[in-house]
Structure 1
Amino acid sequence: MMTNLFSVFDPTSSIMNLSLNWISTFIGILLIPMSFWLLPSGYSLLWNKILYTLHKEFSTLLGPTSHPGSSFIFISLFSLILFNNFLGLFPYIFTSSSHLSFTLALALPLWLSFMLYGWINHTQHMFAHLVPQGTPPVLMPFMVCIETISNVIRPGTLAVRLAANMIAGHLLMTLLGNTGPSLSLTILSFLIIGQIALLVLESAVAIIQSYVFAVLSTLYSSEVN
């Protein structure tokens, strides 16, 4: 019996007090196509197609003034989050993307590097970005405050959005799963169908949230050029 609903997210796997939970972050490496030492399969060709599509999408968002190859940073970010989101749907695998220590560790350094690069190399552009074009002079001080606050909370919103979406689906599936033993056979069959539907929904959320995280990071970086 769980004393706390969120205890399903507690780190519990360890050998000789050595935590093994965060090792699940690297299980996604096993899913990367082995095209470097084997003949390309249908799976690797599909993955290359996805990466090429993401490259075109992120290159468009970054604009023509971006550094060549900078889109691969965000493709790698997308791949890492996608693998971790999907692996968290399997039983007994630690969902690292549902913890703020994981999501904030991705969002904060990215945002901080964008801000440092922008303020050091494009100071005038960064100041101009605090006041949207066409703002009346009376509202300019308020707009600067609003834009500054919205800029500062960006890494927090990125991290919380990903973690909250992962936690919400897992909690709902845990709540429904815990009611199973006390249900009749007829209602239990409906519960299993509902759980399967939720699993499909969570699979879609895993893809969407990793894409949203990568796209928003790309948009934030395009603003500092």
Structure 2
Amino acid sequence: MMANLFSIFDPVSSFGLPLNWLASLVGLFLVPWTFWVQSNRYSKFFNLVFVQLHGEFKTLVGPSASKGHTMLFISLFLFIVYNNFLGLAPYVFTATSHLAMTLSLALPLWLAFMIYGWFNHTQHMLAHLVPLGTPGALMPFMVLIETTSNVIRPGTLAVRLAANMIAGHLLLVLLGNQGPSISSSILSFLLLTQILLLTLESAVAIIQSYVFAVLATLYSSEVV
């Protein structure tokens, strides 16, 4: 039962190739060509989102942010939220439920921040390992704790996003599988529960994308 349940996340296609990973790029083909040519409702909506996110991420990065600094995290947010919403559709592959996807987003970002910070702000990175006011006897332990918490950051980012996507999808599948075996009187209650859960999952899709982008922004602000 559990093997069949988790098989909904299995990235295998009927052609013998993992073509369903291409679902992450299908959104580019769904954008109407007029979006790039003239002002319309789509472009105004995205401009509103860009401006709002730019203001929030610029505050997190601080005055040291360079031009275009926030665009990386805005693009990251939009890419993740698109894949999260795409996975809510029936029979559609959810890329963000796999550590192969989430870790490939988190690990290169974290590694780039660390390389940049240690090469350009070495003293700041060393000072960050020992919080201000730490007693001398505890400094070696604080260095070990801070180093460990820093190393596991990409893993926690990746697992947080993947686990939240898996949990909601599994619950939807578990409830949906009960439909054929229950009476018609309970079926309406099950459908209402499914709708409410789907609404909750839509909110989770946005929140987890925002959390991922915000944490990546905070990690970058520590090294600039």
TM-score bracket for the superposition, by shorter chain length: over 0.9
Matched, 1:116 2:126: no
Shift of 1:35: 2.4
TM-score (norm 1): 0.95
**1:164 corresponding residue in structure 2:** 163
Q: In the alignment, is the contact (CA less than 8 A) between 1:12 and 1:21 conserved in 2?
A: yes
Q: CA deviation at 1:40?
A: 2.0
Q: Supply the distance in 1 between the matched residues of 2:111 and 2:84 (Cα, whole angstroms).
A: 24
- Aligned in 2, Cα 1:95/1:27: closer, same or farther, shift over 3 Å? same
| TM-score for the superposition, normalised by structure 2 | 0.95
2:121, 2:3 → 1: CA distance?
52
Q: Which amino acid aligns with 2:152?
A: I
Aligned ranges 1:73-222 → 2 under 5 Å: 73-222=72-221
Deviation string 1:146-183 (CA, Å, 9 cap, x unpaired) is 10000000000000000000000000000000111000
Instruction: Indicate conservation of the 8 Å contact 2:35/2:42, yes or no.
Output: no
Instruction: Check conservation: 1:84, 1:95, Cα contact below 8 A.
Output: yes
Report which stretch shifted further, 137-146 or 79-88: 137-146
Per the alignment, in what secondary structure is the counterpart of residue 35 of structure 2?
coil
Distance 2:61 2:3 in 1: 47
* Identity across matched positions, percent: 67
Q: 1:3 to 1:144 in 2, by over 3 A?
A: closer
On the 8 A contact 1:14/1:21 being kept in 2, the answer is no
Partner-residue secondary structure (3-state), 1:36: helix
Give the aligned partner of residue 54 of structure 2. Answer: 55
Report if the CA contact (8 A) 1:78-1:213 is conserved: yes
What amino acid does structure 1 have at the position aligned with 2:172?
M
Contact 2:13 2:19 in 1 (8 A): yes
RMSD: 1.4
State the Cα distance separating 1:91 from its structure 2 match: 0.9
Matched residues, number:
223
Distance 1:113 1:21, change over 3 A: same
SS, match of residue 135 in structure 1? coil
Describe the SS at the equivalent of 2:154: helix
Letter in 2 for 1:88: G
Listed as ranges, the gaps of 5+ residues in structure 1 are none
3-state secondary structure, aligned to 2:36: coil
Shift of 1:32: 4.3
Give the secondary-structure state (helix, strand or coil) at the position aligned to 1:204: helix
The match for 1:64 is 63
Note the alpha carbon deviations across 1:115-141, whole angstroms, 9 max, x for none: 000001110000000011111111111
Question: Structure 2: any 5+ residue segments left out of the alignment?
Answer: none
In 1, distance between residues paired with 2:30 and 2:134? 50
